[in-house]
Amino acid sequence: METILLAGGSGLIGTRLVELLKDKYKIHILTRSPEQDEENVKYFHWDIYKKEADRKAFVCDYIINLNGAGIADKRWTTQRKKVLIDSRVEANRTIALMLAKTDQRPKGIFCASAMGYYGDSGDRLLNEDSPEGKGFLAECCAIWEESSSALKPFAKQFGMIRIGLVLAKEGGALPKLLMTKSIGMVPYFGDGSQYFSWIHIDDLCGMFMHMIEHPEVNGIFNGVAPVALTNKALASAICDALPGSQITVPAPSFPIRLAMGEMADVILNSNRIAESRISLEHGYKYQFGEIDVALGDLLG
């Protein structure tokens, strides 16, 4: 049984990845606070700010690094921006340092980035070759990706996924969009014309798993569904998927900006991203590639 080392294993995506992988692989999870080991799942201590990690964790076949502080968890003060960048960069640096200290070499290393790389791009259709955008999200992602690229020499296979808006039953964007469903309303933000490049969490995890299962798959891929939706269209789709009568309601951009500051970019920026090349060129098959199918699974 092969072993996968996972950094960021306690977050939304990491938790689901462990659920999907642990029957076929042994899982090593790097964490500041190790938990009780489970069948096929072992926890190992690390501290990215001290560049420390348990070397035994790195006896593995693959590494997946999802580490990073939540981008929308707190208002973006100067200090918070530093935390958002450092939590990503220092994780990559710690992994590189630990690999440099050992002869152990994984077969593949897979890292996360985000669609924020493209900045606010309106209705322009983007793909993996589209340039870096402007704003803090784009800056953060570019620095993140540069630090991830330093891991390339340590494995024959290297992949990176720019993660879109992740839809999941618990956590992520969907529960926040459902907060007003009890009064028959689903919000959209601003005028709702901004594009959200969404993805079902199982398809995102499936893309990471596809790279593990196909050693010829290398490069940067967008972790998005085949067709992006405007925020208003997504809200309408959620209304259709919920029982009873629901309506979409606007949340004006001005009070959003007032309350959230620059962090409002997370929900007001537009990213219209084309179908991922991991599907178009490398054979990944979406499980939930259409929004009605995805929401039927998550809300059914």
Measured between alpha carbons, how far is 25 from 20 in angstroms, rounded to an integer? Answer: 9
Of the pLDDT bands very low, low, confident and very high (cuts 50, 70, 90), residue 35 is confident
Measured between alpha carbons, how far is 66 from 54 in angstroms, rounded to an integer? Answer: 18
Say whether pLDDT at 177 is over 90: yes
Q: What is the pLDDT at residue 132?
A: 98
Of the pLDDT bands very low, low, confident and very high (cuts 50, 70, 90), residue 245 is confident
Q: What is the pLDDT at residue 34?
A: 80
| 26: helix, strand or coil | strand
pTM above 0.95, yes or no: yes
Q: What is the pLDDT at residue 184?
A: 96
Chain mean pLDDT for the chain = 97
Decide yes or no: CATH 3.30.70.3000 for domain 3-295: no
Q: Is residue 266 within 8 Å of 173, Cβ to Cβ? A: no
Q: What is the pLDDT at residue 272?
A: 99
Long-range contacts of 238-241 (CB under 8 A, 24+ apart): 238/174, 238/177, 238/178, 238/186, 238/295, 238/299, 239/186, 240/292, 240/295, 241/292, 241/295, 241/296, 241/299, 241/300
pLDDT, tens digit, 9 for 90 and up, residues 133-149: 999 999 999 999 999 99
Of the pLDDT bands very low, low, confident and very high (cuts 50, 70, 90), residue 84 is very high
Q: Mutual orientation of helices 201-213 and 12-21 as an angle, nearest 10°?
A: 50
Of the pLDDT bands very low, low, confident and very high (cuts 50, 70, 90), residue 300 is confident
pLDDT, tens digit, 9 for 90 and up, residues 206-237: 999 999 999 999 999 999 999 999 999 999 99
Least confident of 24-28, 152-156, 175-179: 175-179
Measured between alpha carbons, how far is 142 from 267 in angstroms, rounded to an integer? Answer: 19
Greater pLDDT, 300 or 281: 281
pLDDT, tens digit, 9 for 90 and up, residues 148-165: 999 999 999 999 999 999
